Structure 1
Amino acid sequence: MEIDASGPAPASGPARAPLRRVLMLAALAGLVVLLLAAGNRLAQQRALGQGHLRAETALRLTVNALQADLARYEMLPQLIGDLDLIRQLAAAPGDPALRRATNQWLAAQNAALQSSNIYLMRPDGLTIAASNFGTAVSFLGQNFAYRPYFIDAMRGHPARFYGVGTTSGVRGYFFSAPVRDAAGGIAAVVAVKIGVDRIEEAWRGGDYQVMVTDPDGTVFLASDPGWLYHSLNPLTPVRLARTQAARRYADTALTEFPQAALHRAGVELLRLPHAGGGTRDFIAATQAMPGAGWRVHVLLDSAEAMAQARLMLASMVLLLAAGLSGALMLRQRRARIAERLAATAELEHRVIARTADLARVNQRLQQEIAERRATEAELRAAQASLVQVGKLAALGQMSASLSHEINQPLAAARNYADSAAILIERGDYPRARENIAEILALVDRMPAIGKHLRQAARQPGDGTGAVALAPLLRETRTIVAQRLAASGATLELDIPADLPPLCAGPTRLQQVLVNLISNAADAVEGSADRRIELAARAGDGRVTITVRDHGPGVPQAIAARIFDPFFTTKGIGAGLGLGLSITANILRDLGGQISLTDARPGACFRVSLPACPPEAAP
């Protein structure tokens, strides 16, 4: 008996495929997380770095403006100390007249220079003259020997100092200089105090916050009043003792900013309380002012930079998502292309077979199209012949009417001629002349009747022009007079005198009117009311002609076919059914329209043609 010691067979490739896919997805997810973390840090560094550059630019401008403002007053104590009036009072501090004159002069200069106070102190620190001598917070009699600016000036060189006034409680910046006597000794000290409120006011309302700290890190100038007298450094006992000895801030209590300094993405930030509540992280740019011993801080709210960083990160996420989507779409597209290539081969085989079938069908269709075009050409030729036949039929009817019209004047002319001969024999020449005049009038009428026949027989090749309807209707009435008389019909006309001319051909328009009036005469024959009403109206650049009869009307069932060729409601031999078809074709050529409405009783044909502009009228 043999035993297989090889153990179970290893898992096949397909069985390991799901695990491989999971591992690839996990690795891809980890890579995406790392990319996003690195992108977030880079976005913050870029946004905060740009904010720091902006803050540094604003810092340089702020420091320059602050130095320029202080420089305006820096030399004032020395200039004032060199004046004779100040030296005289320093030499004789007890002279009331000198004190009074000096007080008044200092007050005038203080107002002109827009400083806070100017005052003069003896070597023991007692103030003997001041610009605010007449106020409740006058410096007169106050001793400032403890102030650093007095101590430094007594050492023989100009000094400067920031502090809160112990007498007025007003913050200010002090400049001082010694006043020397004739022997070169120090006889007094002159101090100029300038207010800082106007400096802070200029900083408020901008995009940046500004604060200035003393050598111990305490804020004494700030665009946000809530930051005053807060320290960026720990308030050690040594610092507090040094500040108290100089009484820099008088009796104002000092506090520390909690956790003020921090770093984010390699950029220094300051977390400070905000006037609206809570705290804000500010991008800080700092520069020292060695001459004053200060540090100026320009702060830019980091919220805008962080929002920009988030936007940059979101853009990176979108780009990454777009890249992944593009890769997935590319993979899917390749798969679809492979499927399409397989399907294309099958489709090409089917197309070849189908193309052969379509070629045979196309050949048959072309043959049918050629046969149909030939049939249509024959039909158009037949229609043209039938139109001419219908016209000749209408000419036959008009010829009979014209024959009747010509016979009447001939008979009358014969009678007038016989009467004229008898009157001449009798010698009645005046009456004979009247008969001859009547004969001449009848002879003039007969060519006009013949002219109507020639115009009706001519091919309708006349062009369009301005046609006056009233004169044309007079000729038309002559043509249809016999047909109207045969049916006992009367033609009533309603044509306004100001009716504009129509854009039409006179011969073709007359043929339209003859056909419509003749049809109306056929319709009213045998009716009680045998009136035929023809009216015309103008409007909207067109002229509408209506021909109405009072006959039995046209049934609704056949109204739609009334304009078809060879369609007639008359008896056999009474017509070919071409009159209305010819009329519709003529109006279509002239740019007009014709329609039928039920007049109840009778029928009403409505013809619409363009009206000619006034300048085209004959």
Structure 2
Amino acid sequence: MIAGDATNPTARMNRHRRRHWIILGVVAAVVCLLIVSFGHRYATALYLDQAAARGENTLGLAVTALRGQLARYEKLPQLIADDPDIKELVAAPGNLAKVDEINGFLKQINELLESSDIYVMLPDGDTLAASNFDQTPTFIGENFSYRPYFYDARNGGIGRFFALGTTSLKRGYYFGAPINTDAGIAGVVVFKVDIDVIESSWRGGDYEIIVTDPEGIIFMSGRHDWLFSAIQPLTDERLARTATTRRYADAKLKELPVTRGLTQDGHDLLSIAGREGARQYLVVTETMPEADWTVKVLLDTSSVHTQMLTTIAALVLLVALGAMGAAVWLERRARLAERLQVQCEAREELEHRVEERTADLAAVNRLLEEEVAERRMTERVLRKTQSDLVQAGKLAALGQMAAALSHELNQPLAAARTYADNAALLIERGRIDEAGETVGRIASLTERMASISKHLRNFARKPNEKLGPVALDETVRDTLEIIGWRLKAADADLIVNLGPAPSAVRAGAVRLQQVLVNIISNAADAVEGLDDRRIELSARPTEDGKVTIIVRDRGPGVPAAIAERIFDPFFSTKGVGKGLGLGLSISYNIIKDFGGMLAVEKHPDGGTVAIITLEASDMPVREAAE
């Protein structure tokens, strides 16, 4: 069995395949371990550097916005302090009228500059006038001598301080400026600036911006739950300094549960514990010495870790795909010889099947050619049968007309015989002029009989298949010559209205005449014996380049039960011997051959209406071939 496997090509190929898979698996595993071991460090460092760069940009924008907001109001307190009315107020603080005037002035300036509050303090720290004089609570009467912005300005400097208002309980940045008079510094003007607008723009995104005071307490942040929290230990010394200036009024200060760290590349990391667990941030810092602030941008490192893991996973997947690609390539090489053999056998089998199928297709093609020839013969027979049916319908109509037409011909014949006898007598008597008039009447009667005979002959013969312009007025006139006897027999009144300019249609004159004969004959049959024996024949052009011919009678109409069978061959509602049932069927096929439509409907006011729709023609010339 072993010797058999050694000589079996398939067994050797399977052994090579297993060896290739083992080697590729070991190589791929080693490469993946190297990627996980070294890629974690380098990918983390790379993405932390990119995050730090984004943080620096965000930090620069935040610091610029803060400095711009503060610079907007920095010079204003001194301008207000130099106002003569302000100096007059602090020189005579008991002047209540002046106090009211300055209150209104400060309120107007505060609304114009969109600051938070403006107020004037006396050297003892009492507030004499304020822009919120008409609000509750108001700064008037309050003493803020413990604030650094007050005693710095009272000592002749510029007061700057950020704090939570003890009266309004609103955060703000305070600017103080001394009021210099001839007697020295007589008071202080204070501007309070609201920076909530800047803080509200920090919310959202994958970063947090915080501003801390010298004690490390957060007083500005996009997260309200971090306000008045310290990222440094709140020692007794720090708490005492904060209490002295009452920077945060009666707000409860707390420490954030933070853990600091430092990466090998020198990046500052800060972990903050919360309800959802600890979250690590990359910290980028910039100080604002002019305001004694520290601005920090905290970028969540979860996105960094996600990018790092995604990169490592992508690299591992790439290695796996490479290993799979190599395995597939080796597998294809191992099976190439086997495939060539299989293809050779398949080619031989295919050639054999092609020969068999070719023979089968040749036989099928012969059968199809015979069937096509048979169908063409059947089509020719069908067309001839249809033509014979049309001719049979006309001959049947001629048979019905024979009796009535014999009467039509007998009358002029009898009159001609009488006129001939009269002419002979007039000649014998020498009345030649009167004899000539009589001969003229005989000629008129013979022309009438010749006209009737001509129409019958044209109607009876088979027309050719050529279509062309047909004038409706001429066709209707010829039709009336043929069908006049039937209208007279039914005592029917045919009303013809072809419009002011009779139209021309694309058809064959004789076959269109046959259709009209069939339809008008049916209408005469329908109204025969009724009180209202009017039949209307009208034609009108349509907007889509067609002409509609309408024949309406006042008969009983088409019953709904037979409406679908009205065009069936040999279907008739007349009695035995009164028709073959081919008239409407032949008419339908004739109109269809013309490229038009024939419809028979029941009129809403009673009776039947036949509607013929044909293509309009621009040449109202009767077709000579028919």
TM-score, with structure 2 as normaliser: 0.61
Query: How far apart in 2 are the matches of 1:393 and 1:128?
Result: 131
Q: Provide, for residues 422-442 of structure 1, a one-character-per-residue CA deviation record: whole Å limited to 9, x for no partner.
A: 467789999989866753542
2:163 counterpart residue number: 163
Query: How far apart in 2 are the matches of 1:384 and 1:169?
Result: 107
1:214 is displaced (CA, Å) by 0.5
Greater Cα radius of gyration, structure 1 or 2: 1
1:129 is displaced (CA, Å) by 6.8
Query: How far apart in 2 are the matches of 1:455 and 1:374?
Result: 31
2:190 counterpart residue number: 193
Aligned counterparts, 1:250-289, within 5 A: 250-259=249-258, 268=269, 271=272, 285-289=284-288
Give the percent of matched residue pairs that are identical in Structure 1 and Structure 2: 31
Counterpart residue identity of residue 194, structure 1: F
Matched, 1:242 2:241: yes
2:468 counterpart residue number: 463
2:422 counterpart residue number: 419
Query: How far apart in 1 are the matches of 2:323 and 2:478?
Result: 82
Query: How far apart in 2 are the matches of 1:400 and 1:83?
Result: 133
The 10-residue stretch of structure 1 (344-353 or 286-295) with the greater mean CA deviation from structure 2: 344-353
Q: Provide, for residues 364-386 of structure 1, a one-character-per-residue CA deviation record: whole Å limited to 9, x for no partner.
A: 45874796599679869977997
SS state of the match for residue 468, structure 2?
A: coil
SS state of the match for residue 116, structure 1?
A: strand
1:473 counterpart residue number: 479
Q: Provide, for residues 252-286 of structure 1, a one-character-per-residue CA deviation record: whole Å limited to 9, x for no partner.
A: 44211122667899785664769xx9987777553
Query: Contact between 1:106 and 1:130, CA under 8 Å: does it hold in 2?
Result: no
1:19 is displaced (CA, Å) by 10
Structure 1 residues 411 and 322: alpha-carbon distance in aligned structure 2, compared to 1, 3 A threshold: farther
Structure 1 residues 502 and 219: alpha-carbon distance in aligned structure 2, compared to 1, 3 A threshold: same
1:452 is displaced (CA, Å) by 2.0
Query: How far apart in 2 are the matches of 1:516 and 1:163?
Result: 107
Structure 1 residues 226 and 239: alpha-carbon distance in aligned structure 2, compared to 1, 3 A threshold: same
Query: How far apart in 2 are the matches of 1:215 and 1:560?
Result: 108
Counterpart residue identity of residue 480, structure 2: R
The 10-residue stretch of structure 1 (368-377 or 465-474) with the greater mean CA deviation from structure 2: 368-377
2:594 counterpart residue number: 590
Q: Provide, for residues 215-271 of structure 1, a one-character-per-residue CA deviation record: whole Å limited to 9, x for no partner.
A: 111122345444332111111233223333444334444211122667899785664
Counterpart residue identity of residue 594, structure 2: L
Task: Show structure 2 runs of 5+ residues with no match.
Answer: 1-10, 557-561, 602-607, 622-626
2:412 counterpart residue number: 409
Query: How far apart in 1 are the matches of 2:75 and 2:581?
Result: 124
1:357 counterpart residue number: 359
2:63 counterpart residue number: 63
Query: How far apart in 1 are the matches of 2:312 and 2:469?
Result: 75
2:232 counterpart residue number: 233
Q: Provide, for residues 389-418 of structure 1, a one-character-per-residue CA deviation record: whole Å limited to 9, x for no partner.
A: 979988997999988865653343122221
SS state of the match for residue 215, structure 1?
A: coil
Query: How far apart in 2 are the matches of 1:323 and 1:543?
Result: 78
Query: How far apart in 2 are the matches of 1:84 and 1:400?
Result: 135
The 10-residue stretch of structure 1 (62-71 or 349-358) with the greater mean CA deviation from structure 2: 349-358
Query: Contact between 2:104 and 2:131, CA under 8 Å: does it hold in 1?
Result: no
1:62 is displaced (CA, Å) by 3.1
Query: Contact between 2:467 and 2:508, CA under 8 Å: does it hold in 1?
Result: yes
Structure 1 residues 344 and 244: alpha-carbon distance in aligned structure 2, compared to 1, 3 A threshold: same
1:289 is displaced (CA, Å) by 0.5
SS state of the match for residue 127, structure 1?
A: coil
SS state of the match for residue 286, structure 1?
A: strand
Task: From 607, 610, 613, give the equivalent of 2:613.
Answer: 610
Matched, 1:444 2:447: yes
1:213 counterpart residue number: 212
Query: How far apart in 1 are the matches of 2:25 and 2:248?
Result: 65
Query: Contact between 1:466 and 1:612, CA under 8 Å: does it hold in 2?
Result: no
Counterpart residue identity of residue 359, structure 2: D
1:204 counterpart residue number: 200
Query: How far apart in 2 are the matches of 1:167 and 1:50?
Result: 45
1:127 counterpart residue number: 125
Structure 1 residues 511 and 615: alpha-carbon distance in aligned structure 2, compared to 1, 3 A threshold: closer
Query: How far apart in 1 are the matches of 2:350 and 2:189?
Result: 102
Matched, 1:290 2:289: yes
SS state of the match for residue 173, structure 1?
A: strand
Query: Contact between 1:163 and 1:171, CA under 8 Å: does it hold in 2?
Result: yes
2:510 counterpart residue number: 507
SS state of the match for residue 191, structure 2?
A: strand
SS state of the match for residue 195, structure 1?
A: strand
Q: How many residues align?
A: 558
Structure 1 residues 536 and 232: alpha-carbon distance in aligned structure 2, compared to 1, 3 A threshold: same
The 10-residue stretch of structure 1 (236-245 or 74-83) with the greater mean CA deviation from structure 2: 74-83
Counterpart residue identity of residue 413, structure 1: A
1:173 counterpart residue number: 173
1:514 is displaced (CA, Å) by 6.7
Q: Provide, for residues 588-609 of structure 1, a one-character-per-residue CA deviation record: whole Å limited to 9, x for no partner.
A: 4323578999xxxxxxx99864
RMSD: 6.8
1:67 is displaced (CA, Å) by 1.8
1:294 is displaced (CA, Å) by 0.3
Query: How far apart in 2 are the matches of 1:247 and 1:375?
Result: 117
Query: How far apart in 2 are the matches of 1:167 and 1:583?
Result: 106
Query: Contact between 2:504 and 2:617, CA under 8 Å: does it hold in 1?
Result: no
Query: How far apart in 2 are the matches of 1:492 and 1:30?
Result: 113
Q: Provide, for residues 413-471 of structure 1, a one-character-per-residue CA deviation record: whole Å limited to 9, x for no partner.
A: 12222135446778999998986675354233133134325534585356342435753
1:202 is displaced (CA, Å) by 4.5
Counterpart residue identity of residue 247, structure 2: R
2:350 counterpart residue number: 348
Query: How far apart in 2 are the matches of 1:517 and 1:174?
Result: 109
Task: Show structure 1 runs of 5+ residues with no match.
Answer: 1-11, 524-528, 564-569, 598-604
TM-score, with structure 1 as normaliser: 0.62
Query: How far apart in 2 are the matches of 1:611 and 1:108?
Result: 95
Query: Contact between 2:121 and 2:128, CA under 8 Å: does it hold in 1?
Result: yes
Counterpart residue identity of residue 118, structure 1: V
